[in-house]
């Protein structure tokens, strides 16, 4: 994800990183060349003059804009829901860590070490959820945060975050058995784990339920048909300015179509997807800080970064 400080309006005109322009530049060039050809031949195909009233494009453009607005809202809802779920995960990980260090008896140094191990498991949960949503293994983080025995148990498992939640639940049960935590507090912590499970399930729902394909196909086809027919409707009224106006209109519609497709899958690794790696680093830094676990400094981007 691109995270960028505010800049002036002139620099915004030439920003490349984070823009969908590089995805659609070929389409825009093709439409512009096609528009130049239409202008050169005066809107004729062989000897037939294509008569298209600009009013038709006004009506179609209005309907297309309304439909694109609907699709954009649906895509952004998915993006924002994903961000809210990960924001909730940040809060819940800190809350569970606080409860562990506040309510679990740490009269022995062994218990303190166990607490720090469970905090590492909480961080491992966030990293495993991140990589599950991105179809990656994330083995380097699991081996760093979990014991070799736990890593071995995770081999060939499909829903690793759920298995890690089981590790945390087993630890709470063991602490209750030892008398380091009472049943009431353990029940409260178990509710935290249920919230973790709800967050994981919510993210999986977004991941496994994309926007209906029929919407994407209809929007994509309509946008390109509109852009390629537009030169015939404007060539007589705009003259040599027609290719430039068609380019501007095409950029607006095609770019919005590309943005809808991009943010509709918020857990990917494109420049405008959610910064899951950054969120996981923030979670790990904050809960390690609570646990007193040594770590490197958490650096924030100065201008922009790609997560």
Give the separation between CA 230 and CA 105, rounded to whole angstroms. Answer: 73
75 CB burial (10 A radius; 0-12, 13-18, 19+): buried
Other CB atoms within 10 A of residue 83 CB: 14
For 81-85, 106-110, 125-129, 207-211, which range has the lowest pLDDT when averaged over its residues?
106-110
User: What is the domain partition of the chain in residue ranges?
Assistant: 9-291
Higher-confidence residue: 256 or 7?
256
Q: Which of 223, 216, 209, 304 is nearest to 266 (CA)?
A: 209
| Distance from C-alpha of 231 to C-alpha of 210, rounded to nearest angstrom | 34
In the predicted model, is pLDDT for residue 302 greater than 50? no
The pLDDT tens digits for 9-68 are: 677 776 767 778 888 999 999 999 999 998 888 777 777 777 777 888 888 888 888 998
Contact by Cβ (8 Å): 83, 266: yes
pLDDT at 304 (0 to 100):
44
pLDDT on residue 288: 92
Confidence at residue 109, expressed as pLDDT on a 0 to 100 scale: 57
Q: How confident is the model over 199-258, as pLDDT tens digits?
A: 999 999 999 988 888 888 989 999 999 999 999 888 888 888 999 999 999 999 999 999
């Amino acid at each position: 994800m691109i995270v960028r400080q505010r800049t002036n309006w002139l620099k915004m005109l030439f920003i490349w990183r984070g823009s969908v322009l590089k995805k659609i530049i070929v389409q825009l060039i093709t439409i512009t060349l096609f528009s130049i050809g239409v202008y050169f031949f005066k809107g004729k195909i062989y000897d037939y003059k294509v008569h298209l009233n600009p009013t038709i494009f006004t009506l179609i453009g209005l309907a297309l804009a309304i439909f694109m607005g609907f699709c954009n809202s649906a895509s952004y809802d998915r993006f924002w829901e994903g961000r809210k779920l990960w924001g909730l995960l940040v809060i819940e990980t800190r809350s569970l860590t606080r409860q562990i260090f506040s309510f679990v008896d740490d009269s022995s140094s062994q218990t303190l070490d166990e607490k720090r191990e469970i905090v590492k498991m909480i961080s491992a949960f966030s990293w495993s959820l991140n990589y599950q949503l991105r179809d990656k293994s994330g083995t380097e983080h699991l081996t760093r945060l979990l014991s070799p025995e736990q890593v071995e148990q995770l081999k060939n498992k499909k829903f690793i975050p759920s298995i890690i939640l089981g590790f945390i639940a087993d630890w709470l049960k063991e602490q209750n058995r030892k008398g380091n935590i009472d049943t009431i507090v353990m029940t409260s912590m178990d509710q935290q784990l249920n919230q973790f499970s709800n967050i994981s399930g919510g993210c999986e729902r977004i991941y496994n339920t994309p926007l209906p394909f029929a919407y994407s196909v209809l929007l994509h086809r309509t946008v390109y048909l509109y852009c390629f027919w537009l030169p015939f409707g404007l060539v007589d009224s705009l003259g040599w300015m027609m290719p430039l106006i068609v380019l501007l209109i095409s950029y607006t519609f095609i770019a919005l179509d590309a943005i809808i497709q991009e943010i509709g899958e918020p857990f990917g690794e494109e420049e405008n997807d959610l910064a899951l790696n950054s969120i996981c680093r923030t979670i790990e830094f904050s809960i390690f800080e609570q646990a007193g676990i040594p770590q490197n400094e958490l650096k924030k981007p100065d201008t922009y970064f790609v997560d």
